[in-house]
């Protein structure tokens, strides 16, 4: 026999149980997006490479999956391009299209392309796979789903408030306890202004983030090593040692950033979001976290990230405000804010905490044993009735040995088996066996359906 | 301003209304598959090219979208391969992966790869996009969805019966009147045997199919032109002129194919399927159609196709029995049967006949007008309550002019608008405006929710 066929590394097959769990995740997120007035869109898996290139940094360009032009893909490619060592340039000649790398850039492209049809503010959600030619590793795949919601065309902070409500509602539905971390890019900009080192903001947040692990002295040493002058490190001290409630943190920040207009604006924005949500009463805790920076450099206002409290795993949701995402496609001045749920990590968390509701797996509820053509014919109209009533049922297609049919039921964890032989046919009834308790009862079709639907 | 960005030809964006309609189609098919005991799987968008190549004929190989290897894709490619004119060979050196072309081959690969985990017979459904580098034209896209269900590991004709029930149920739910056409590859083989021209079966079915349009003489002339000898054309006459009920047709066929064991087997199979379904009582008509051949050469038994009765459009669903699909991956002897709903064409039919249920489009049901920060704050807990009750609602995020907010509600076809100013806040009530009738009423939050949920 030939060797077993496989699939490309970093990709996955999803079997029925995994699919049922994933559908539970997507359906939950979808239903919450919907009650907040977001509507679904989908964009093509392929975008023109001109849409994708240059949007994710140099590293991102390399991680784009590119699609070989169909037909004569060599047409127009010069010997110099072949022979040269500029792989990116050659790739661009061989390929016009690439696979979607995230949902944000295609969404920006969508907004610009459909601007005349859209009513602003536009609230959309999108649940689709994305592809990245990353080195595969545990929990990192080359094909994975993103579940994004964005509002564009409004700079109101009510949008931030609603996105945090969505996060809170979704994780409450999942039963996952989380901490929602909030920061604001304007505050980070304010800090950079204050110490006169705009390019050092990442070094600062990374160093501060280590406070618990390495202690204040080592943090200060790291800051100095990153090229931040002594005076600036001194001025940073209240920020590094920031603690207490959100209100206390913001009070300290206000003093430290008293001279930065931008920084103060960021603080006011966070205050509005936190105060409004406090009045509404969330199920999960929100925490001002100055070490939160988020890598994507298109964020300009509030940024947020969600951590699970009971599982060691990275951020399971994140997002933020961007002020000029559509500018890259020639449509400036459109402010937006969005979030993205990490479906794969949520899947892992739900598995680890065993939080899937029992009804998640939607397999067959009722298997009819097949004793032969006459019995099978008798069962078919009964099955039609059961299906009409919403019962997921099937008949074993062949009149195989009883043992084989019962082990099929067991392997599929079917909770009820219907047994119809000559006696049952004569009486117009079905012997229903409960596969969990082992109980059997002789029932009319209606009685059987009622028991299963309970 | 830069030119508007676009998307690759043959691909589409789906806007909220289109998405809602597509979800209605997918959800309907999904729910019927589920009550018949089928379970969902998903496979990766990318497969190894070795899995895909050679499975769809020479033309199919050309229509595969191939993905450029990441990193140094030139590595190991010889000058001869560059310079040569064997584009397929060069493509195979540059690309290891390709996009899924249909759901059947990946499913066969899945079955073989997971054979040790699967309980046979295995009933799976799969709803995912596929990609083909076809020349785009009206109704033909480069990215489109297939909605397949297959049973493998059973050669029982009950599977064919159930798939026809599924077809009947799905189109009844859609309200689309259809004719389900049935044929059997064994009958076609029998005909070919009978006239001693196994390679002419496609010419024969194509010619017979034209009977209504061009008349018997011209059909016979076409058969002769296709190289079928006079004697064979004479023997084909009862088949060409076949008419009447399914029973009458099968009776004639039985006589004509009396000497072909294979042909008779095909007739018996069709009889079983038709008789069983007649006893069950379908909503739609089934018709024996000898001109039905279906292009894919892996079919070996019953084949079927569905035509809409009230719209001029090609086949909207099709499928059949195959006896050795997994053989290509080294696992012989697994018989299967499957169907595939054409979601894009069903979308067009539902549009043309205007058959979407009113509740398909799931946009915002209730918009809160925003008069300012105090009023908005007052609305937020009311909205939380409404959402808890499942009402899809939103607040206009900015306190823009009333006219602007109302035209936002109109553009989104929001049926109810909630107006909360100082008077309402003092009374603890909401003025609810019905946007269809123009009626207004002052209501408590609970009263408002009840009216909208009705």
Q: What span, in angstroms and rounded, lies between the C-alpha atoms of B49 and B56? A: 12
Which residues in chain A have Cβ-Cβ distances shorter than 8 Å to B142? 46
Residue of chain A whose alpha carbon sits nearest to that of B50: A5
Which residues in chain A have Cβ-Cβ distances shorter than 8 Å to B39? 16, 19-20, 362-364
What single-letter DSSP state applies at residue B365? Answer: S
Q: What span, in angstroms and rounded, lies between the C-alpha atoms of B284 and B175? A: 11
B74 touches A87 (CB < 8 A): yes
Q: What span, in angstroms and rounded, lies between the C-alpha atoms of A451 and A444? A: 11
Q: Above pLDDT 70, what percent of chain A?
A: 99
What single-letter DSSP state applies at residue B325? Answer: G
Q: Do A44 and B377 touch (CB under 8 A)?
A: no
Q: SS in 3 state form for A394-406?
A: EECCCCCCHHHHH
Between the two ends of chain B, the Cα-to-Cα distance in Å is 48
- State residue B2's pLDDT score: 52
Under 8 Å CB pairs connecting chains A and B tally to: 282
Joined together, the tokens standing for residue A381 give: 């109209």
B392/A contact by beta carbon, under 8 A:
yes
Which residues in chain A have Cβ-Cβ distances shorter than 8 Å to B155? 398
B173 touches B283 (CB < 8 A): no
Residue with tokens 């769990």: A21
B173/A contact by beta carbon, under 8 A:
no
A435 touches A393 (CB < 8 A): no
B362/A contact by beta carbon, under 8 A:
yes
Closest CA to B110 of B47, B65, B156: B47
The model's confidence at residue B99, banded by pLDDT at 50, 70 and 90, is very high
Q: Above pLDDT 90, what percent of chain B?
A: 75
Residue B287 pLDDT more than 50? yes
A237 touches A223 (CB < 8 A): no
The answer to whether the Cα torsion of A137, A142, A145, A146 is positive or negative is positive
Closest CA to A367 of A354, A382, A352: A382
Residue B82 pLDDT more than 80? no
The model's confidence at residue A1, banded by pLDDT at 50, 70 and 90, is very low
Q: What's the pTM?
A: 0.93
Calculate how close chain B gets to A203, using CA atoms only, in Å: 30
> What is the overall mean pLDDT for chain B?
93
> What is the overall mean pLDDT for chain A?
93
The model's confidence at residue A295, banded by pLDDT at 50, 70 and 90, is low
B452 Cβ partners below 8 Å, 6+ apart? B365, B366, B386, B391, B415, B416
A143/B contact by beta carbon, under 8 A:
yes
Calculate how close chain B gets to A342, using CA atoms only, in Å: 18
Closest CA to B304 of B326, B273, B279, B332: B273
- State residue B1's pLDDT score: 44
Q: Do A121 and B397 touch (CB under 8 A)?
A: yes
Neighbours of A73 (CB within 10 A): 20
Q: Do B377 and A124 touch (CB under 8 A)?
A: no
Calculate how close chain B gets to A454, using CA atoms only, in Å: 16
Which residues in chain A have Cβ-Cβ distances shorter than 8 Å to B362? 34, 39
Q: Do B280 and A380 touch (CB under 8 A)?
A: yes
Nearest neighbour of A19 by CB, restricted to B41, B90, B143: B41
Q: A128-165 pLDDT, tens per residue? A: 999 999 998 888 899 999 999 999 999 999 999 999 99
Which residues in chain A have Cβ-Cβ distances shorter than 8 Å to B42? 13-14, 19
Q: A55-102 pLDDT, tens per residue? A: 888 888 999 999 999 888 888 787 777 777 778 888 888 999 999 999
A163 touches A319 (CB < 8 A): yes
Q: What span, in angstroms and rounded, lies between the C-alpha atoms of A341 and A351? A: 16
A83 Cβ partners below 8 Å, 6+ apart? none
Listed range (A339-348, B13-22, B55-64, B420-429) with the worst mean pLDDT: B55-64
Q: Do B11 and A380 touch (CB under 8 A)?
A: no
Closest CA to A20 of B122, B44, B124, B109: B124
> Counting runs of H as helices and runs of E as strands, what totals does chain A give?
18, 16
Give Cα A421 to chain centroid, integer Å.
50
Listed range (A295-299, A326-330, B341-345) with the worst mean pLDDT: A295-299
Calculate how close chain B gets to A189, using CA atoms only, in Å: 26
Strands ordered across the beta sheet of A143-152 = A39-40, A122-131, A143-152, A336-342, A317-322, A299-308, A178-184, A285-288
Q: Span A166-174, mean pLDDT?
A: 98
B179 touches B306 (CB < 8 A): yes
Nearest neighbour of A35 by CB, restricted to B14, B129, B391: B391
Q: Span B314-341, mean pLDDT?
A: 92
Residue B282 pLDDT more than 50? yes
Interface with B, mutate which of A37, A53, A370, A408 (most B CBs under 10 A) = A37
Residue with tokens 């069983």: B276
- State residue A442's pLDDT score: 97
Q: Do B44 and A397 touch (CB under 8 A)?
A: no
Q: Are strands B95-99 and B46-48 parallel, antiparallel or unpaired?
A: antiparallel
B203 touches B226 (CB < 8 A): yes
Residue of chain B whose alpha carbon sits nearest to that of A276: B377
Closest CA to B93 of B102, B83, B105: B83
Residue A3 pLDDT more than 80? no
- State residue B31's pLDDT score: 96
Joined together, the tokens standing for residue B184 give: 């059997």
Nearest neighbour of B394 by CB, restricted to A36, A392, A395: A36
Q: What span, in angstroms and rounded, lies between the C-alpha atoms of A164 and B220? A: 73
């Amino acid at each position: 026999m030939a060797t077993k066929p496989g699939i490309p590394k970093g990709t996955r097959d999803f079997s029925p149980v995994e699919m049922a769990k994933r559908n539970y995740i997507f359906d939950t997120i979808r239903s919450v997006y919907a009650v907040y007035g977001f509507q679904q869109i989908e964009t093509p898996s392929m975008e023109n490479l001109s849409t994708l290139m240059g949007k994710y940094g140099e590293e991102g360009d390399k991680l784009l999956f590119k699609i070989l032009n169909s037909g004569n893909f060599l047409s127009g490619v010069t010997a110099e391009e072949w022979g040269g060592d500029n792989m990116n340039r050659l790739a661009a000649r061989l390929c016009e299209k690439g696979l979607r790398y995230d949902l944000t850039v295609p969404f920006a492209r969508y907004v610009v392309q459909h601007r005349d049809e859209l009513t602003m503010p536009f609230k959309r959600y999108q649940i689709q796979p994305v592809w990245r030619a990353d080195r595969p590793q545990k929990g990192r795949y080359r094909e994975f789903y993103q579940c994004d919601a964005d509002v564009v065309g409004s700079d109101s902070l009510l949008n931030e408030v609603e996105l945090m409500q969505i996060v809170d509602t979704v994780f409450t539905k999942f039963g996952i306890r989380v901490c929602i971390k909030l920061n604001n890019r304007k505050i980070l900009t304010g800090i950079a202004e204050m110490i006169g080192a705009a390019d050092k903001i990442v070094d600062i947040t990374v160093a501060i983030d280590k406070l618990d692990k390495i202690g204040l002295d080592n943090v200060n040493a790291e800051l100095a090593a990153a090229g931040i002058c002594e005076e600036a490190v001194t001025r940073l001290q209240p920020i590094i040692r920031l603690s207490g409630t959100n209100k206390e943190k913001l009070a300290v920040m206000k003093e430290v950033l008293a001279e930065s207009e931008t920084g103060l604006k960021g603080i006011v924005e966070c205050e509005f979001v936190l105060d409004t949500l406090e009045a509404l009463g969330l199920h999960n805790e929100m925490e001002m976290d100055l070490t939160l920076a988020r890598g994507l450099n298109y964020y300009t206002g509030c940024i947020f990230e969600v951590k699970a409290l009971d599982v060691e795993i990275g951020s399971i949701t994140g997002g933020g405000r961007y002020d000029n995402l559509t500018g890259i496609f020639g449509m400036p001045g459109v402010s937006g804010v969005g979030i993205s749920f990490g479906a794969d990590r949520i899947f892992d968390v739900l598995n680890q905490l065993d939080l899937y509701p029992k009804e998640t797996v939607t397999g067959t509820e009722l298997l009819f044993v097949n004793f032969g053509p006459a019995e099978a014919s008798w069962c078919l109209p009964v099955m039609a009735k059961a299906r009409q009533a919403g019962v997921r049922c099937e008949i074993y297609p062949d009149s195989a040995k009883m043992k084989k049919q019962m082990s099929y039921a067991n392997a599929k964890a079917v909770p009820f088996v219907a047994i119809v032989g000559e006696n049952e046919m004569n009486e117009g009834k079905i012997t229903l066996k409960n596969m969990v308790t082992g109980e059997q009862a002789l029932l009319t079709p209606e009685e059987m359906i009622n028991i299963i639907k309970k």
